[in-house]
């Protein structure tokens, strides 16, 4: 199924390349960028929209049309200065969702301050897992428990506000089991199935991976 969001992956090391390939293989429009011409030439057959450019250059960001991209993944953690510049420039260009790969916790704090919406430490999250997370519309996080089962955090959708879990019957419709509700930074596992849902709530659910596509 065609993914309607557009993505840019800036930096095509092992991590960035894994993200870009997974997104492209799932039908997403992906702009892949690296400043190493040899790398770009090697992957251009797999990632047709692949450019050789310096993403710390404001003019390059403008020429690439980053302002039109829905989600930008910055995967140049080996160079903090480049990561900071690219993050800042993408934020200034109006990108709504910026994901940045970080080398350590300190870099993560710095990049969050300059505009990263999500920071990723490679030892905690693989490139493929990140791509799958981004591809699942409305899914905030995706943890694969087994080959067929995932733990997912989702927002309460606008059409669900005021309804109850009993009304929605997510288990029957989507094979989803709600195991916790997060509301105003509080998480509870004592769930009242007859309590109205609020817009600010998030639900943590265990789901059949084969049904996630239907849900999204």
Kindly state whether residues 124 and 157 are assigned to the same domain.
no
Kindly state whether residues 29 and 88 are assigned to the same domain.
yes
* More confident: 154 or 125: 154
Please state, rounded to an integer, the average pLDDT across all residues of the chain: 84
Kindly state whether residues 22 and 126 are assigned to the same domain.
yes
pLDDT tens digits for range 172-201: 888 888 888 888 767 788 889 999 999 888
Quick one: pLDDT band at residue 28, thresholds 50, 70, 90? Answer: confident
Residue 56 falls inside a structural domain: yes
Kindly state whether residues 155 and 58 are assigned to the same domain.
no
Kindly state whether residues 143 and 120 are assigned to the same domain.
no
* More confident: 216 or 115: 115
**What tokens does 101 get?**
């790969």
pLDDT tens digits for range 55-65: 999 999 999 99
Question: What is the number of domains present in the chain?
Answer: 2
Residue 1 falls inside a structural domain: no
Kindly provide the residue ranges of all beta strands, DSSP E only, lying in the chain, ordered along the sequence: 6-10, 29-34, 50-52, 71-74, 97-101, 118-120, 139-144, 149-155, 176-183, 186-188, 202-208
**What integer pLDDT is reported at residue 180 of this predicted model?**
83
**What integer pLDDT is reported at residue 25 of this predicted model?**
84
Give exposure, 132-143, as e/b (b: 16+ Cβ within 10 Å).
Answer: bbbbbeebebbe
Kindly state whether residues 143 and 185 are assigned to the same domain.
yes
Domain membership of residue 199 as a residue range: 139-215
Kindly state whether residues 91 and 20 are assigned to the same domain.
yes
Kindly state whether residues 22 and 102 are assigned to the same domain.
yes
Kindly state whether residues 160 and 190 are assigned to the same domain.
yes
Last residue of a domain, one of 79, 96, 130: 130
Kindly state whether residues 68 and 124 are assigned to the same domain.
yes
Kindly state whether residues 211 and 162 are assigned to the same domain.
yes
CATH code for the domain in which residue 67 is found: 3.40.50.720
pLDDT tens digits for range 102-137: 888 888 889 999 999 988 876 555 555 655 665 555
Q: What is the pTM of this model?
A: 0.62
Residue 68 falls inside a structural domain: yes
Quick one: pLDDT band at residue 92, thresholds 50, 70, 90? Answer: very high
Residue 153 falls inside a structural domain: yes
Q: 79: how many CB neighbours lie within 10 A of its CB?
A: 14
Q: 19: how many CB neighbours lie within 10 A of its CB?
A: 28
Kindly state whether residues 57 and 126 are assigned to the same domain.
yes
CATH code for the domain in which residue 183 is found: 3.30.70.1450
Quick one: pLDDT band at residue 1, thresholds 50, 70, 90? Answer: very low
Cα(63)–Cα(67) distance, integer angstroms: 10
Last residue of a domain, one of 69, 95, 130: 130
């Amino acid at each position: 199924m065609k993914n309607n969001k557009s993505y840019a992956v800036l930096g095509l090391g092992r991590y960035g390349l894994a993200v870009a390939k997974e997104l492209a293989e799932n039908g997403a429009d992906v702009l892949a960028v690296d400043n190493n011409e040899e790398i770009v030439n090697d992957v251009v057959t797999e990632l047709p929209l692949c450019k050789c450019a310096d993403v710390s250059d404001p003019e390059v960001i403008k020429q690439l049309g980053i302002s039109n991209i829905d989600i930008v993944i910055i995967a140049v953690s080996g160079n903090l200065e480049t990561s900071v510049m690219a993050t800042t420039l993408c934020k200034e260009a109006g990108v709504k969702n910026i994901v940045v790969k970080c080398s350590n916790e300190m870099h993560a704090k710095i990049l969050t301050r300059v505009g990263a919406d999500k920071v990723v430490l490679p030892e905690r999250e693989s490139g493929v897992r990140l791509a799958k997370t981004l591809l699942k519309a409305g899914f905030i996080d995706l943890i694969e428990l087994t080959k067929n089962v995932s733990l997912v955090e989702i927002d309460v959708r606008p059409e669900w506000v005021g309804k109850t879990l009993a009304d929605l019957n997510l288990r029957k419709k989507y094979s989803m089991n709600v195991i916790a509700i997060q509301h105003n930074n509080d998480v509870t596992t004592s769930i009242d199935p007859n309590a109205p849902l609020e817009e600010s709530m998030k639900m943590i659910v265990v789901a059949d991976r084969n049904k996630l596509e239907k849900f999204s």
